[in-house]
Amino acid sequence: MKKHIYIILAFVSLVMLSCSTDDNQIEEVETTSIKMLPLTKKKLKSTLVAKETSFGGRANHTSLIFDKKMWVIAGNGPGIYYNDAWFSNDGTNWIAATKKAAFSKRTNHATTVSDGKMWLTGGELVDEMNDVWYSDDGTNWVLTNNNAAFSPRSSHAMVDLNGRMFVIGGEENGVEKGDVWVSSDGVKWNLATNLAPFGERRDHAAVVFDNKIWVIGGYDINNNFLNDVWYSPNGFQWFLATANADFLPRRNHALTANKKGMWLTAGTRNNDFKYFNDVWFSNDGVTWTEVKVSKTFPERTEHTSVHYDKKLWVINGYGLDLGNYYDFYTDIWSFE
């Protein structure tokens, strides 16, 4: 009799455990679905924060979040190149940390934040560069390596993952690169890979999200505009998230991230120099959703974007391709 009771109890326990597991699975699916709803069904409020800025119109600059401020560093305007650094805590009022930094004037450089400092690599004026600089205040810039192990380059990407900086791709003398370099101090640079699986490219965008490096889009050695998405947990091993993302192929777009996911904005759509003014979001790198905004911002490329103060920001860029002063945007937009 006892054996029958034990068997019945075991069966009941198994059924209850199975039901509990199913309930947990249903709850996880529902939570995932709800998580995406605010982005697919809700418009972001657009705000033209500034029509003009103290640092003027520019493109091919970089932007960072450092010391609880937004930063704009170097780049080029109509017939002029910069070696300045500006900061703001509201997007309206900008203060020059320096109008003439120790590093030379340049455009198409790359920057990141690592070890409590802002870091700058490469770029171009007449020729490409491979110098490395850092600053802990935006005013004083220190040269750590005038001739880094990686070759001179521009239009590359640079990120920090767990205290190590990575320089990714770019171009030199019109030839695209597919290498990845790593450094923990800005002085010594080691080759992570001579040719990553994503191939030679420039004008791509990179960001760190979910403890991974992401490389998205750009322009490859065969003159193709790209919309592929790659990721790496360490900078050495690379995996394809999607070869054909939901957004159209592009270069010179901007990419930033917050805790929710990655945000991609605008860029150049083809060799006819047509530009985008769209916003896309993904929390896994595979599925991308176009985010509606209450008011569209003008089409642009070679701009920057950051996520700051719970808002997505789009800063300056290049728009009209007419070869005059007004090609360079002076505006700043926020989306929340």
- Do 28 and 148 lie in one domain? The reply is no
Q: What is the pLDDT of residue 7?
A: 37
Q: What is the pLDDT of residue 320?
A: 74
- Do 312 and 215 lie in one domain? The reply is yes
- Cβ atoms < 10 Å from Cβ of 311: 17
- Do 183 and 233 lie in one domain? The reply is yes
Residues 263-269, mean pLDDT to the nearest whole number:
97
- Do 116 and 129 lie in one domain? The reply is yes
Per-residue pLDDT tens over the stretch 202-250: 999 999 999 999 999 999 999 999 999 999 999 999 999 999 999 999 9
pLDDT higher than 80, residue 142: yes
Please tell me the pTM assigned to this model. Answer: 0.87
Q: What is the pLDDT of residue 300?
A: 96
- Do 129 and 8 lie in one domain? The reply is no
Q: What is the pLDDT of residue 323?
A: 64
Cα 44 from chain centre? 20
Residues 93-118, mean pLDDT to the nearest whole number:
99
pLDDT higher than 50, residue 18: no
Which helix H or strand E contains 123, and what residues bound it? strand 117-124
pLDDT-derived band at 321 (thresholds 50, 70, 90) equals low
Residues 97-120, mean pLDDT to the nearest whole number:
99
- Do 4 and 112 lie in one domain? The reply is no
Averaged pLDDT score across all residues of the chain: 89
- Do 19 and 142 lie in one domain? The reply is no
pLDDT-derived band at 272 (thresholds 50, 70, 90) equals confident
Per-residue pLDDT tens over the stretch 19-29: 333 333 222 22
Q: What is the dihedral of CA 113, 52, 252, 207, to 10 degrees?
A: 30
Q: What is the pLDDT of residue 25?
A: 28
Residue 27: which domain range? 1-42
Q: Considering its fold, how many domains does the chain have in total?
A: 2
Contact in structure between 107 and 63 (CB atoms under 8 Å): no
Q: What is the pLDDT of residue 8?
A: 36
In this structure, what DSSP letter does residue 43 have? P
Residues 13-19, mean pLDDT to the nearest whole number:
37
- Do 137 and 217 lie in one domain? The reply is yes
Q: What is the pLDDT of residue 98?
A: 99
d(CA 57, CA 45): 24
